[in-house]
Structure 1
Amino acid sequence: MSFYEKAANSHPSLQRGMVWCAVCGRSQRTDAAGSLQHGWPKCCGFTMTIDSPEEREAYAKARGE
């Protein structure tokens, strides 16, 4: 197992293989190991996030936003 495969298996958010655009909300399946090695997907000019919209909403509530 490569370093990138180990890293991709290190967190559930990476393991699910999905990323989201924080600007437009588009989602995309991704190979986390490949993305870590060759570059993360981008959308609307920004790097896509491994945090789902629901997770981002919960983080914002926890911060009081």
Structure 2
Amino acid sequence: MSTSDNWRKSSYSGGGDGNNCVEIADAPDHIAVRDSKALTRGALTFRASAFAAFIESLRYQKG
């Protein structure tokens, strides 16, 4: 995730004033997540398969 053009705002960040800005960047083997209001704090990085399982579990809970 070395270039800024890999990052995009998550569809779950909400609209309006942008107070809930979560950005994600993906590569074939990993996904990174960061707070767009605190870029210097870095990002969390997950294996793509683990992130996919996490998202699927959220979909299941949402119901």
TM-score, with structure 1 as normaliser: 0.29
* Greater share of residues in helix: 1
Higher strand share: 2
Give the TM-score taking structure 2 as reference length. 0.29
